[in-house]
Amino acid sequence: QVQLVESGGGLVQAGGSLRLSCAASGSIGSINAMSWHRQPPGKQRELVAIITSDNNTNYAGSVKDRFTISRDNTKNTLYLQMNSLKPEDTAVYYCFGALATMGGSLRGAWGQGTQVTVSS
3-state secondary structure of 91: strand
Whether residue 86 has pLDDT greater than 90: yes
Q: Provide the 8-state DSSP code for 14.
A: T
pLDDT at 109: 94
User: Which tens digit of pLDDT belongs to each residue from 21-51?
Assistant: 999 998 888 888 999 999 999 999 999 999 9
Whether residue 53 has pLDDT greater than 90: no
- Nearest of 21, 38, 34 to residue 116 by alpha carbon: 38
- CA 73 to centroid of chain Cα atoms: 15
Question: Which residues contact residue 54 at a Cβ distance below 8 angstroms, ignoring those fewer than 6 apart?
Answer: none
3-state secondary structure of 51: strand
